[in-house]
Structure 1
Amino acid sequence: MTTFATFAAALLMLGAPGKVESIKATDLDGKPVEIQTAGKITTVIFISTQCPISNDYNERMKALYNEFNPRGVQFVFLNSNSTESSADAAEHARKHGFPFRVLKDPNNVEADRFAAEFTPHVYVIGKNSEIIYRGAIDDSRPADKVTKTYLKDVLNAAIEGKPLPVTETKAFGCTIKRVKKST
């Protein structure tokens, strides 16, 4: 069992950074935005305008925001897809009545730093700026089939100062369309 725990810890180190003190992106008008995480529970969700799986989560993301933002949780919704413009993201947010702002992640800087692969892909950062959860919002694309509400359970535990019920799950969705890097 110790070998497995060591292996699992090593795998976690290959992914997202352990500490995230700020998130840099641009608003949908192209202006730089820097969000500080210290002293706050921060939920980062990578989203897409075109991914049907991400779009199946739109109502659940709104509900989570409406439940937890008033309880002090800071949310960062990042669109990192190189195939989706700021105008696309703004129209998508308007069309779906998002109560939160969506930011663009030019050149996939944050997606790369977090090792985010999918939309939606979730990261929760604790008050000490350490990532405390990474993975899926819940366990089912169809909302009526959800049996495990990972993100909701993690946020409730973090707010209440209780042990987290889970720290990592397998994210699923459409892959983030990254900018082609010149070699």
Structure 2
Amino acid sequence: MARTPSNMLALGTTAPEFYLKDTQSQKDYSFADLKGSKGTLVFFICNHCPFVHHVIEEIVRIANDYRVQGIGMIAISSNDVTNYPQDAPQLMTEFAFENKFEFPYLYDETQEVAKAYDAACTPDFYLFDKQDKLVYRGQLDDSRPGNGIPLSGSDLRSAIDGVLYNRIINPDQKPSIGCNIKWK
């Protein structure tokens, strides 16, 4: 199991725009279509990564806790489905259904969106404020498969609370660790 860290896109970066198909609704969406009124969380995941499987329940809890408070939630998979067919769009639809996603799960077939976000691993999290400026990128929390630390989502939840309640978000952020994005 590869342990690839986030590239840590520069804080203050404007959210890169995209136009991608949602594997659940089969509709195409842009960042502007899906962004929240108070902020937006963009996260890169895939169907087969053991790091994603380890955290998916907490991701869904975070989405359910915060989307009703004005935080847009956008999941994206950018993996090469030719060499990793388990990440194909029809299986993304099943993965979203099985995990009760109430947010879009977009397919980045060209991998241009992952490149624009400088995404490196799954999961990889990017939190933007209501002006679409990056305020957090990094880990969900310190839990990893097999390390015995319980999931809490504490790092990401703290950052989202900062956006919601106009608190200073600590710029000293830990990178996420996960499987590398499967590039073509």
Same fold at TM > 0.5: yes
Matched, 1:150 2:150: no
Matched, 1:80 2:78: yes
Matches within 5 A, 1:68-107: 68-83=66-81, 84-107=87-110
Any idea what SS the aligned residue of 2:110 has?
Answer: helix
The answer to whether the Cα contact below 8 Å between 1:135 and 1:168 also exists between their aligned partners in 2 is yes
Gaps in structure 1 of 5+ consecutive residues: 1-10
Any idea what SS the aligned residue of 1:53 has?
Answer: helix
Q: Residue in 2 aligned with 1:129?
A: 132
Amino acid across the alignment from 1:46: F
**Stretch moving more, 37-46 or 108-117:** 37-46
Whichever structure has more helix as a proportion of its residues is 1
Closer, same or farther in 2 for the Cα pair 1:167/1:31, shift >3 Å?
farther
Q: Residue in 2 aligned with 1:60?
A: 58
What is the Cα deviation at residue 173 of structure 1?
0.7
The answer to whether the Cα contact below 8 Å between 1:153 and 1:165 also exists between their aligned partners in 2 is no
**Stretch moving more, 37-46 or 97-106:** 37-46
Q: Residue in 2 aligned with 1:24?
A: 19
What is the Cα deviation at residue 98 of structure 1?
2.0
Q: Normalising by the residue count of structure 1, what TM-score does the alignment of the two structures yield?
A: 0.81
CA distance in 2, matches of 1:108, 1:149: 29
The answer to whether the Cα contact below 8 Å between 1:22 and 1:34 also exists between their aligned partners in 2 is yes
Over alpha carbons, which structure has the higher Rg? Answer: 1
Closer, same or farther in 2 for the Cα pair 1:27/1:164, shift >3 Å?
same
Matched, 1:110 2:113: yes
RMSD: 2.5
The answer to whether the Cα contact below 8 Å between 1:17 and 1:114 also exists between their aligned partners in 2 is no
CA distance in 2, matches of 1:122, 1:25: 18
Identity of aligned residues (%): 23
What is the Cα deviation at residue 66 of structure 1?
0.8
Deviations 1:52-96 (A, max 9, x none): 111111100111011100111001100111122110100111122
What is the Cα deviation at residue 107 of structure 1?
1.1
4+ residue stretches of structure 1 with deviation over 6 A? none
Q: Residue in 1 aligned with 2:4?
A: none
Any idea what SS the aligned residue of 1:62 has?
Answer: helix
CA distance in 2, matches of 1:16, 1:165: 11
The answer to whether the Cα contact below 8 Å between 1:150 and 1:166 also exists between their aligned partners in 2 is no
Q: Normalising by the residue count of structure 2, what TM-score does the alignment of the two structures yield?
A: 0.81
Number of residue equivalences:
168
The answer to whether the Cα contact below 8 Å between 1:25 and 1:104 also exists between their aligned partners in 2 is yes
The answer to whether the Cα contact below 8 Å between 2:162 and 2:169 also exists between their aligned partners in 1 is yes
Any idea what SS the aligned residue of 1:22 has?
Answer: coil
